[in-house]
Chains A and B, each alone.
Chain A
Amino acid sequence: MKDLTHPLVWFYIPVTLTWICFCISVGNPAKFIDYDWLWLLFRSMSPYFWSALGVALAVGMSILGAAWGIFITGSSLVGAAIRVPRITSKNLISVIFCEATAIYGVIVAIILQTKIEYVQPVDGVWDRYAMLSGYAIFGSGVTCGFANLVCGMCVGIVGSSCALSDAQNSTLFVKILVVEIFGSALGLFGVIIGIIMSGAVTWSGAK
């Protein structure tokens, strides 16, 4: 651990401690951690919570990844272009690759939100198909969002190196671009799995 500003201290440990305190404090006071109450909480969560969260994560995380990649690439690009202004127009391709991950997220989010339909719960209990559909949209959004997050970061880092090496030797641009293309395939994998999972959505009985 480098020092006390490490993310481990300021994010992961507080989140873990909050979760543990939550588990201990809810439910039957006689039990230390009331697992039955926690399971009932999980069981009674509406499928529309999961669906909405899935759509939000699909677009939000993809755009976070794209933004991260763009700032990594962009800062290196403008820094290197002080001495070598010719690299600017060619290396905007790296910025466009990062932007593409945001577009993938928007596409998947729009597709997912068209799949949300309202069904009535019977006696306060949702149908098993409704629960499955809620979980499917959540899984789809998580997959697409986080895959595009890491893809955007990867393409950004490689794009930054591409700009810097292009500034030194202009024959390197196309060769490093090949590495960026491998990186941008990862976002496509997320979109593919997101679309496959969203095909399992069926809000009221099997097709």
Chain B
Amino acid sequence: MDHYRSLLQEGASSNQDTAPFFGFIGAAAALVFSCMGAAYGTAKSGVGIASMGVMRPELVMKSIVPVVMAGVLGIYGLIIAVIISTGVNPASYKLYDGFAHLASGLSCGLAGLAAGMAIGIVGDAGVRANAQQPKLFVGMILILIFAEALALYGLIVGIILSSKAGQSAAPAPAH
């Protein structure tokens, strides 16, 4: 550690070498948390579909909608993770870029986790209720769309944050 202590006191540029840790953890967080949300949504809705399908097998294919919407959350995480992991430039990657990528990944991932939990619970209850009252289908779809929008907000903020990551080399704005 003593070599690094002297580097820290000199303020050497190699102090920024830990920045890729935060970048890659951002990409990992984007994918892992989105997949957690997608998995929860798929599993919870899937159990509801299977239970409901015993009594009304003809409604199963229509009720796959919550599962598809949960799968889309995994796609959102995949998009941000690809943007981040191809954006980690070995030549010049400062701590600013690393923290921006971390924030981007966490925002997309945690939003996807939350949306997945919502989609799972609403999908489960919705498909079971739809089996008993067919007029509820449109209502269930509307609620699922609102839940999906939460993940979309996380994706938008994630894209904005990861676009800031290439700007650490930009000149400071004149005041």
Contact = CB atoms under 8 A, between A and B. Distances in A.
Interface of A: 36, 39-44, 50, 123-126, 128-129, 131-132, 135-136, 138-140, 142-143, 146-147, 150-151, 153-154, 157-158, 161-162, 164-165, 168-169, 171-172, 175-176, 178-180, 182-183, 185-186, 189-190, 192-193, 196-197, 200, 202, 206
A157 B27 CA distance: 27
B5 interface: yes
Interface string B52-88: 0110010011001001101100110110011001101
Contacts of A158: 42-43, 46-47, 50
A40 B42 contact: no
Given A125-B3, A132-B88, A154 B43 contact: yes
A162 B28 CA distance: 31
B18 A186 contact: no
B158 to A, nearest CB: 14
16 contacts: A135-B23, A135-B25, A138-B24, A139-B24, A150-B32, A150-B38, A157-B46, A165-B51, A165-B53, A172-B53, A179-B67, A183-B39, A183-B46, A193-B28, A196-B81, A197-B28
Interface residues of B, number: 55
Q: Is the interface of B mostly helix, strand, loop or mixed?
A: helix
Given A153-B43, A193-B85, A185 B3 contact: no
B172 interface: no
Interface stretch (B7-15, B129-137, B147-155, B159-167): B7-15
B111 interface: no
Of the listed residues A41, A128, A169, A186, the one surrounded by the most CB atoms of chain B closer than 10 A to its CB is A186
B21 interface: yes
B53 A143 contact: no
A183 to B, nearest CB: 5
Q: Is the interface of A mostly helix, strand, loop or mixed?
A: helix
Nearest to B26: A139
B20 to A, nearest CB: 4
Interface string B98-113: 0000000000000000
A162 B50 contact: yes
B43 A157 contact: yes
Contacts of B8: 36, 39-40, 43
Given A43-B4, A124-B3, A132-B90, A153 B39 contact: yes
A193 B78 CA distance: 7
